[in-house]
Amino acid sequence: MKKFDLDIILFTHGPKAYAPKRLIEEAKNKNINLRVIKYNDINIVYTTGEFELKLKGEEMPVPHGIFLRGLGEDSVYNPIRTAIIVWSKLKGSKLLNEKSFSKWPSLDKTTQYINLALAGIPVVESFSFTSIEELKKWSVDAYPYIAKDIIGSSGIGVFKISEDSDLLKLFKTFNSNFKIKTLLFQRLLPKAEDLRVIVLNGKIVGAMKRIALPGNFLSNYSQGGKVESYKIGEDLEANSIALETSKLFKLDYCGIDLMKNEEGKWVVLEVNRACQFEGFEESTGINVASKIVDYLAN
């Protein structure tokens, strides 16, 4: 039988954030040995016929389970992500979302929408442009709409474009054809609320509704949005779309954001491979940290 040095390693940039603290707390309650390791403390060693991860120059302990948190979908993190994935396979560790990371090292919003569209899973009508001129021509009849950074999260890098002056402000930051390629443009949907559905091991953990504050178009909890529990078990449409999406992207754990379109049908907004769960635990009373710890330790 494979011997491990500990139960779980949580790799992260921010060990003092809500999610790491909750995972540590739940692991302690269950007498599960969880260690937090910062990405900055990892060294990668390549020699002929050998590859190793080091922890501050010393041997990296081998865990039963691994959670990669906080890397985001920026391709700049692909080398460290790939190194941990390969190392985990060599050591026989269980890495959360390993199949998804292996197939899509970066699952940015453009990649998500291409795969969702081809799979026939409903999405918000969206557009990508390769030049400022093409965006300007489309914008004439498109206001209002949303512009999103394809690797943004937590409501960061999301802009509401209602008129020419908003577009000019956008161009102050995204001022080249290269930078325009990093944005996804979407029709503005009428309701300033959406669902965050958490899926773990092919099953719905639960869902919360996120509602934007008056005057704000962002419903994210991290942006001040109101959150409340949602009975997704009574919503077969939302339930089905969330499970289909998680299966499509080969995800063990994820947060899937849904919103209703003009016809009142659920569509996918975004998929999050290491979703935050502070607002989710607060609004639903579901102990997400405990479920993740159990999954990785067993």
DSSP one-letter string for 199-233: EETTEEEEEEEEEPPTT-----GGGT-EEEEE-GG
Query: Would you say 139 and 161 are in contact if contact means Cβ atoms under 8 Å apart?
Result: yes
pLDDT in tens, 33-78: 999 999 999 999 999 988 899 999 999 999 999 999 987 777 778 8
- Residue 107 pLDDT grade (very low, low, confident, very high; cuts 50, 70, 90): very high
Contact 65, 93 (CB under 8 A): yes
Distance from C-alpha of 9 to C-alpha of 63, rounded to nearest angstrom: 6
Residue 97 in this model has a pLDDT that exceeds 70? yes
- Alpha carbon 19 to its chain centroid, in Å, reads 13
Q: What is the model's pLDDT at position 221?
A: 42
pLDDT digits (tens, 9 = 90+) for 176-235: 888 888 899 998 887 757 899 999 999 999 999 988 665 555 545 444 567 899 999 999
Which residue has better confidence, 22 or 2?
22
pLDDT tens digits, 131-172: 999 999 999 999 999 898 888 766 677 888 889 999 999 888
Q: How far apart are CA 221 and CA 155, in angstroms?
A: 9
Q: What is the mean pLDDT of the chain?
A: 90
Confidence of residue 263 (pLDDT cuts 50, 70, 90): confident
Give 237-256 pLDDT, tens digit per residue. 999 999 999 999 999 999 99
State the Cα–Cα distance between residues 186 and 123, nearest whole angstrom. Answer: 10
Q: What pLDDT sits at residue 87?
A: 95
Which pLDDT score, from 0 to 100, does residue 1 have? 47
Interacting residues of 218 by C-beta distance below 8 A, sequence separation 6+:
155, 158, 212, 224, 225
Q: What domains are there in the chain, each with its CATH number?
A: 6-103 (3.40.50.20), 126-187 (3.30.1490.20), 190-272 (3.30.470.20)
- What is the C-alpha separation between 6 and 163, in angstroms, rounded? 56
Does residue 23 carry a pLDDT above 60?
yes
- 135 Cβ contact partners less than 8 Å away, ≥ 6 residues apart: 129, 167, 180, 185
CA distances, 79 to each of 167, 219, 236 (Å): 35, 33, 39
